[in-house]
Amino acid sequence: MFKDKPTDMPRKDWIWKKFISNGNFENQGALPPQIADSWLRCSQMELNPDDGRAQNILEHTAVRMLLEKNQEIINIAKPFMANIYEFFRNSGFIVVLADANGYVMECFGDREALTSARKLHFVRGASWQECDVGTNAISVGLVTGKPVQVSGAEHFCLRHHWWTCSAAPIFGVDGEIIAFLDLSGPAQAAYSHTLGMVAAAANAISTQIGIQQKNYELLLMNKHLSSIFNTISDGVILFDRFGRVKEYNLIAQKLLGKNGEKLTGTQVQTLFRNNDQLIQKMLNGKETYADIEFQTDGRIGPKRCAVSGEIIFDKQGGINGGVIILRPVEKVHNPVNRLSGHHTAFTFNDILGTSASLLGTVQQASMAAATSSNVILHGESGTGKEMFAQAIHNKSARRSGPFIALNCGAIPRELVGSELFGYEDGAFTGARRGGKPGNFELASGGTLFLDEIGDMPLEQQVALLRVLQDKRVTRIGGNKVIPVDVRIICATNKDLNKLVANGTFRQDLYYRLNVFKIEIPPLRNRREDIELLFCHFISQIGCEQERKFIINANVLECINRYTWPGNVRELHNVAERACHMAEDNTISLLCLPSELQCSKDRYEYRATGNREIKQRLLEEELEKIRTLLEQEGGNISRVASELGIARSTLYRKMRKYSIC
C-alpha cells in the first residue's frame, strides 16, 4: 500500500502508515506507550483511520442538560480558559472544556480555528471518546487519568494529523475526575511546555472547585449557626475586643429590655449592673465565669438570669472578643434537677399489696394527687412514705416539674435555712461563690418533699410558714424577693399533735400543712402483704443477679409470724440477705437473721439453737433426696433438676449422706 520510507519522511508518520497498513508496529519504542495502546484499541474497534469526524453528537435537549448539570464547573473554568486563550490568541489554537465522559461543553478560540474544529465536528455536545474519534489527548486522558499530549501522526485518524492537543484532568473535591481541559492547535506549533501550561490551569481549576466547595460548606454552616443563634432559648451576646456589642439574638434583647438600636455598639459592661467588675475582668482576659446570677430589667418586668461569659482569643493569644450567655434561672434549675437525681421513680402501681388498709391509703393518696393541696404522710419508719410522696407527685398536674426531697432531720439545724431558702454570695463564712438557690427555688413548678418535718428547728418553721403564705422567698443575705410556686408534701413518724401541745411545732404551720393527712399502715397491720412483698423482693433480686431462687415453706411461715418493727424496709433487707446467703439458690431458715429464727414466743417450731435447726434441716434434705431418687428410678439428672441444683452438688450430698 505504501512505498518504502523516504529519507525526509517524519518517523512517526512512517510508523503510523505501517501500522494502518498491516496492524504491526515498526519500532514501537518510538511511540509513547499510551499512544501505542490507544492505536491497538482503535484497530480492534475497526475505526476508520481516514475519518476522525465526531459522529456521536448529543441532541439539543441533551446538550442543554449537559451544560446545566456542569454549570458550576463551567463557570469556574471559564476565566482560566479565557486567560489561556489570550496567551494563544491569533495562533490557531482553541481551548476546550469536556466533561468526565469526553463530551465537549465549552470552546474558546479564533474564528478560523473554530471553523477548522467544526469541520471535525469538534463542537458542543460532541463525544471525543476513543471509540468515536480515535486517539486524541482527551480520549487518552480518559483512559489514563493523567495529563497527556498527542501531536500530529500520534493521532489514529488522518484528519487529526494537522493538530496537536494537550489535555489534563480536572478533579472534584472527592478526588474523582469531573472534567478535562484541552488546548488544541496546529501540529507544527506543538511545544512540550504547552502540556505543562494546561496541567497547571487544570490544577488551578480543581483547587478553585475545592475552595468553592469549602465556601459553600462554610456558608451552610453559617446558616445553621445563625438559625441556632436566633432560635436558641438562651440569650446570646457577641462583643468585639473593645467590649462593644456586635451581635445579639432576640432572647437577649428581651431579657435585657433593650431594642436593637440601643444594644448595638453598647459597651457590654454597662449592660450588667452590679457585675460590671466581673465583666471588666473578663475583658482583660483574666477570667471567665459561669452561671453568675443577675437580675435584668426585661420587657415583662425583672427577670433573674444565670450569666456565663467566655473570651475568644486569636491565634497569637490576644483577645479577639467574647460571648455572653443569658439563661433564665428556671431553665437552669429544671435540667439540673433532672440530672442531679431530683426526679421521681415510683407511681401508685409500684406500691404492692392487697390488704384493705393499704388499698384505702392508696385511694386516699390518689385523691390528694388530683389536688394542689399540701399533704402530711404519717407512718412508722420504713413504711414507704417517700414512695407515696413520689407517687402523689407523679399523678399530679405537677408531674413534669421537679421533685425535690429534703430530710429535715439529717441536716444540721444551722444549715436548714440555707438549704430551704438559699443564700447570696458572701452571706456567711464558707458560702459558695455566686450564692446558691434553695430547695424552694429548685422545686418551683413542682413538689418539695420535707421528710422528718417534725425535726425542723422552731426558728425555721417561722420562715417556712411565711413562704407558704406569701409564695415568695428571700435568700439568706439577700434582699431580692423571688416568687415560687411549690406544693409541699411532708412526712413524719412523730405525732405532730403532741409536738404542737409540747410547743416544739408551730400550731399555725401544722394547720397550714395539714390539708390531707394520710396514715400509712405498718407492715404488721397488713400481714396478707408480707409474703407477697417478700416473694417480690426475692424475684427482683434474682433478676438482678440472674438467679432463680427457691423459697422453703418454713421460711414463709417464719416471715409471716415476725412483727417487722422496721416495716417494708426491714423486709427488703431480710430478702436481700437471704439471697446472698442462699446455697444452691435455695432460701432456707439458715438464710434468715437470728432474730427471725430464735424467738420462742413468735414461732411454732421451738428451736433450742442453731445446731438443732441445722440438724432438722439436714434430716429433711436427706429424706427429700431419698424420696426423689425412688420416684425417678435413680435418675440423677432428674433429681438434680427437681432440687434445682447441679448434678455435681447432688453427688456431693449423696456422699455426705452415704446414699449409694
Percent of the chain with pLDDT over 90: 41
DSSP per residue over 371-439, as a string? S---EEEE--TTS-HHHHHHHHHHHSTTTTS-EEEEETTSS-GGGHHHHHHEE-TTSSTTPPTT-EE-H
303: pLDDT strictly greater than 70: no
Residue 595 lies in a domain: yes
**Averaged pLDDT of the chain:** 84
User: pLDDT band at residue 201, thresholds of 50, 70 and 90?
Assistant: very high
For residue 593, what are the domain limits?
Answer: 522-607
- Same domain, residue pair 514 and 382: yes
The pLDDT value recorded for residue 181 is 96
The pLDDT value recorded for residue 274 is 59
User: pLDDT band at residue 184, thresholds of 50, 70 and 90?
Assistant: very high
CATH number at residue 571: 1.10.8.60
Contact 17, 4 (CB under 8 A): no
141-144-149-153 Cα dihedral, nearest 10 degrees: -100
477-480-486-489 Cα dihedral, nearest 10 degrees: 20
DSSP per residue over 93-139, as a string? -EEEEEETTSBEEEEEE-HHHHHHHHHTT-STTBB--HHHH-S-HHH
The pLDDT value recorded for residue 434 is 65
Cell of 333: 434549675
CATH number at residue 168: 3.30.450.40
- Same domain, residue pair 636 and 567: no
Does an H or E element contain 250, and which? helix 250-256
As a whole number, mean pLDDT of residues 248-271 equals: 77
Residue 41 lies in a domain: no
309: pLDDT strictly greater than 70: yes
* Closest listed residue to residue 417, CA positions, set 340, 491, 489, 473: 473
| Whole-Å CA distances, 411 to 70, 188, 408, 414, 417 | 74, 100, 6, 8, 10
Instruction: Give the number of residues written for the chain.
Output: 660
Dump pLDDT digits (tens) for 482-540: 888 899 999 999 999 999 999 999 999 999 999 999 999 999 999 999 999 999 999 99
Cell of 507: 400550731
The pLDDT value recorded for residue 30 is 79
Contact 101, 91 (CB under 8 A): no
Contact 456, 495 (CB under 8 A): no
- Same domain, residue pair 496 and 359: yes
| Whole-Å CA distances, 115 to 97, 118, 146, 394 | 17, 5, 29, 85
3 state DSSP class of 475:
coil
225: pLDDT strictly greater than 90: no
Residue 219 lies in a domain: no
The pLDDT value recorded for residue 492 is 94
* Closest listed residue to residue 389, CA positions, set 476, 489, 473, 286: 489
Residue 10 lies in a domain: no
- Same domain, residue pair 96 and 73: yes
* Closest listed residue to residue 139, CA positions, set 45, 264, 204: 45
Measure the N-to-C terminal CA separation of the chain; round to a whole number of Å: 110
| Whole-Å CA distances, 449 to 324, 343, 521 | 35, 11, 20
The pLDDT value recorded for residue 294 is 67
126: pLDDT strictly greater than 90: yes
Query: How far is it, in rounded angstroms, from Cα 474 to Cα 417?
Result: 11
- Same domain, residue pair 486 and 556: no
Domain end position, chosen among 607, 625, 650: 607
User: pLDDT band at residue 65, thresholds of 50, 70 and 90?
Assistant: very high
Considering only residues 402 and 605, tell me which one the structure prediction assigns the higher pLDDT.
Answer: 402
3 state DSSP class of 320:
strand
Residue 446 lies in a domain: yes
**Per DSSP, what are the bridge partners of residue 301?**
298
User: pLDDT band at residue 342, thresholds of 50, 70 and 90?
Assistant: low
The pLDDT value recorded for residue 567 is 93
- Same domain, residue pair 275 and 350: no
Dump pLDDT digits (tens) for 366-402: 999 999 999 999 999 999 999 999 999 999 998 888 8
